[in-house]
Amino acid sequence: MDNPHKLNQVFAAFFTEWALSNLTSSKSALFVTTTFEHESEMRCRRETAGLSLGSYEMRAFQHLYNRIARALVGSNYNRPSKRDRLPRVACFLDSEGSKFWRSAGDTKNIHQHSIWVVEKEEIDILKDGLDLMGRDGDFFRNLGFDEIDVREIGDGYDDLSRVVTYASKHVGFDTRDLKLGTGFEFYPLGVSY
């Protein structure tokens, strides 16, 4: 399958099923977009270190996820006994100029779209934790984050499918062209899906 549009359809269906399999009556899905400062020192260092495009942004997202996991579950969030309580997240790289499945755009202004599946009573904790003006704002800005936008996804299948399709739209292009290092990642790391 060499057509990125068909690849994107397949990936969108897969990621939608992943989200549905993690949703329960006590959980909600959130759509989080993270952007980065264009010329942050940390992003510029990526180029001198020879890292692939997107690798710095994915590493920064892992730090963000760990910070939120600690806020939701406690300091020992990575212990096997607490894994069931961690939010399930699919994080996707995107770049400027990509519009749904029409084009991949160039690889400038790499940013992320992510789908978070969390307990409904944890939504406010997550929103507070991702607030750049909040307690962890300096930590996130030091990682190069410029903006973090959190939106709740409607309960319907169509709402979820539309958001997941949009979030994962770059994966098919990247599978074909391999411009970005890792186009998506599931969290917590090491959990089979």
CATH number, domain with residue 114: 3.30.70
Q: Which of 94-103, 107-116, 180-189 shows the lowest per-residue confidence on average (mean pLDDT)?
A: 94-103
Whether residue 153 lies inside any domain: the answer is: yes
Whether residue 193 lies inside any domain: the answer is: no
What residue numbers bound the domain in which 167 lies? 4-187
Mean pLDDT of 175-192: 72
pLDDT above 70 for 141? yes
Mean pLDDT of 8-36: 90
pLDDT in the model for residue 168:
83
pLDDT above 70 for 88? yes
Whether residue 154 lies inside any domain: the answer is: yes
d(CA 29, CA 144): 25
> What's the angle, vertex CA 89, arms to CA 175 and CA 22, rounded to 5?
105
Whether residue 65 lies inside any domain: the answer is: yes
Whether residue 67 lies inside any domain: the answer is: yes
Closest alpha carbon to 179 in 114, 115, 98, 64: 98
d(CA 34, CA 130): 10
Q: Estimate the share of the chain in helix, then strand, then coil, as percent rounded to the nearest 5.
A: 45, 20, 35
DSSP code, position 154: P
Token code pair at residue 107: 């690889």
Count: domains in the chain: 1
Q: How confident is the model at residue 44 (pLDDT cuts 50, 70, 90)?
A: low
Whether residue 192 lies inside any domain: the answer is: no
Whether residue 96 lies inside any domain: the answer is: yes
Whether residue 150 lies inside any domain: the answer is: yes
pLDDT above 60 for 102? no
